[in-house]
């Protein structure tokens, strides 16, 4: 195969599949790494590999032969439950990827982190790309991404850390699905004062475009915040989503304090008794819904440019997925 070669970990995941598809559209030859054995139309080559396997690094060295860049999208995404297993898995897999890359000629590494590494339990408008990370993150997933960022920053080759804000789009299983499930089952409750909290979102189309763009710009080193750049009140956003999908929800409201107390009362025993089952309401979820958090994208706009899709376009694409649900 000819052309620029891009290796993508987690190529069968929500983000990875979209990255692979976008990269091929941009003329890259794609090598996809995933744990599943199912063939994927989005990649030119697929390698079945568990990044936690003892021989993962050695096999990755061979897979990275001739690669110009690596997009590390594989991760254990778990926002609830015990922190230690999530941290251990994500740090170990990232060590394998970085170790292999260093041995394979140091191709550029683009690491998909998350804006949640910066989250703290208060309003955080305009989070800067050079902001200090909290001493303790709000959950194991965020802590794992923070530690992985530290590993990436020590990589001897060119690297970029992308911190996407809440990602929406076809294949999303984290943001809108639990909200819609609660609304459709009649369990939805509005939390706190109306439109007291705002956020910016990121359409998956913009995320993957930025990922592929970053892969081809070795001079763009450092941390980059990604969002569609449009701040919206969270309650207004969900009302628009419910209206678009013809979902009627009761006008029942609880205070932020009551919601946090209830979430902690439910999730504390479940964290130990049923760690694989996320309760319908978590303390982290309450934090996300009731605090203003927006991203300053100064470095992103300077080095990677503006997003090509609007929030409305991204939301419409996401809603197409759930219209028949």
Task: Establish if 313 belongs to a structural domain.
Answer: no
Is the pLDDT confidence value at 104 over 50? yes
Q: Please, are residues 287 and 213 in contact by the beta-carbon 8 Å criterion? A: no
Angstrom distance (rounded) from CA 310 to CA 122: 27
> Is residue 271, in this structure, part of any structural domain at all?
no
Domain presence at residue 276: no
Residue listed under structure tokens 């305009």 = 126
In sequence order, which residues have a C-beta less than 8 Å from that of residue 168 and are 6 or more positions away?
175, 176, 201, 202, 203, 204, 314, 315, 318
Proportion of the chain above pLDDT 90, given as a percent: 83
Place of tokens 């390698």: 47
Residue 101 within a domain: yes
Other beta carbons within 10 Å of 295: 27
DSSP string of 43-65? -SEEEE--TTSTTHHHHHHHHTT
Cβ atoms 71, 125 nearer than 8 A: no
Cα separation of 63 and 176, whole Å? 35
Handedness of CA 261, 262, 263, 267 (dihedral sign): positive
Q: How many domains does the chain have?
A: 1
In a domain, 96, yes or no: yes
Identify the three-state secondary structure at position 183.
Answer: helix
Centre a 10 Å sphere on the Cβ of residue 173 and count the other Cβ atoms it contains.
Answer: 10
Q: Are 1 and 64 in contact (CB under 8 A)?
A: no
Q: By CB neighbour count within 10 A (0-12 exposed, 13-18 middle, 19+ buried), where does 66 fall?
A: middle
Nearest to 23 by CA among 216, 303, 233, 285: 216
- In sequence order, the 6+-apart residues with CB closer than 8 A to the CB of 296 are 126, 127, 128, 129, 225
pLDDT band at 324; cut points 50, 70, 90? low
Which residue, chain included where needed, has tokens 């891009």? 6
Q: Is residue 16 included in any domain, yes or no?
A: yes
Report yes or no on 72 lying in a domain: yes
pTM of the predicted model as reported, rounded to 2 decimal places: 0.95
**How confident is the model at residue 144, as a pLDDT?**
98
Strands (E), 134-203: 159-164, 167-168, 190-191, 198-200, 202-203
Name the residue range of residue 101's domain.
5-171+202-229+294-308
Identify the CATH number of the domain in which residue 214 sits.
Answer: 3.40.50.720
Q: Strand, coil or helix: what is 279? A: coil
152 within a domain of the structure (yes/no): yes
Query: Binning pLDDT at 50, 70 and 90, where does residue 1 land?
Result: very low
125, 175 contact by CB (below 8 A): no
pLDDT in tens, 114-156: 999 999 999 999 999 999 999 999 999 999 999 999 999 999 9
pLDDT tens for residues 80-101?
888 999 999 999 999 999 999 9
């Amino acid at each position: 195969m000819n052309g620029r070669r891009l290796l993508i970990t987690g190529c069968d995941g929500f983000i990875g599949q979209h990255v692979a598809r976008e990269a091929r559209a941009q003329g890259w030859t794609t090598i996809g790494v995933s744990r599943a054995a199912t063939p994927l139309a989005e990649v030119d080559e697929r390698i079945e590999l568990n990044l936690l396997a003892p021989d993962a690094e050695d096999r990755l060295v061979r897979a990275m032969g001739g690669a110009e860049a690596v997009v590390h999208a594989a991760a254990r995404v778990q926002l609830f439950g015990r922190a230690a297993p999530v941290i251990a898995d994500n740090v170990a897999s990232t060590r394998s990827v970085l170790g292999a890359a260093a041995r394979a000629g140091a191709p550029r590494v683009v690491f998909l982190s998350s804006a949640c590494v910066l989250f703290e339990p208060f309003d955080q408008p305009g989070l800067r790309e050079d902001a200090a990370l909290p001493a303790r993150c709000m959950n194991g997933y965020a802590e794992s991404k923070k530690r992985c960022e530290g590993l990436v920053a020590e990589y001897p080759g060119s690297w970029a850390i992308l911190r996407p804000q809440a990602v929406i789009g076809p294949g999303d299983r984290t943001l809108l699905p639990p909200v819609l499930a609660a609304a459709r089952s009649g369990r939805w409750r509005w939390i706190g004062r109306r439109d007291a909290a705002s956020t910016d979102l990121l359409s998956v189309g913009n995320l993957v475009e930025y990922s592929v763009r970053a892969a081809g710009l070795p001079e763009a080193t450092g941390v980059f915040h990604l969002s569609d750049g449009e701040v919206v009140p969270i309650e207004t956003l969900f009302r628009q989503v419910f209206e678009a999908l013809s979902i009627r929800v009761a006008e029942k409201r609880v205070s932020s304090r009551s919601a946090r107390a209830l979430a902690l009362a439910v999730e504390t025993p479940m964290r130990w008794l049923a760690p694989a089952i996320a309760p319908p309401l978590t303390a982290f979820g309450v934090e996300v819904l009731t605090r203003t958090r927006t991203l300053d994208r100064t470095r992103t706009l300077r080095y990677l440019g503006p997003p090509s899709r609007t929030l409305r376009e991204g939301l419409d694409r996401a809603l197409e997925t759930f219209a028949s649900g």
